[in-house]
Amino acid sequence: MESILTTEKGTCYLCQRRTFTQLHHIIHTGVPKKKQDKMGLVVYLCLDCHTGTNGVHGKNGAERDHDLKALAQARWEINYIRDYPYQYHAREAAREEWMKQIGESFIN
């Protein structure tokens, strides 16, 4: 699987530490992992950034989790527009396709 964000095993996407990492599926509720794999909605995170207190799954990590989701959505929409440049109202079409696939927007 290939991520739409620049990430590699052994380097945490969020803090950039070279350490043991775990694969994180960015949209972790309601969207099957296989679908996220296909859409590239994955990054490698260290244990602290993944499941630590301030990590995306941690008790103080809600803002960090939302920011990562918004970043992934923005990158996905940019890629969609790049792949379909002649589509009428490409930006709106990208958001509609995201909503069709994911069901929730993380960008205000």
Residue 12 lies in a domain: no
pLDDT at 84 over 80: no
Number of domains in the chain: 1
Domain range for 82: 21-102
Of the two residues 90 and 31, the one the predictor is more confident about is 31
Residue 48 lies in a domain: yes
Question: For 22-77, what is each residue's pLDDT tens digit?
Answer: 999 999 888 999 999 999 999 999 999 999 999 999 999 999 999 999 999 999 99
Residue 50 lies in a domain: yes
Helix (H, G, I), strand (E, B) or coil at 43: strand
Residue 108 lies in a domain: no
Q: Which residue in 79, 48, 75, 80 sits closest to 64, CA to CA?
A: 48
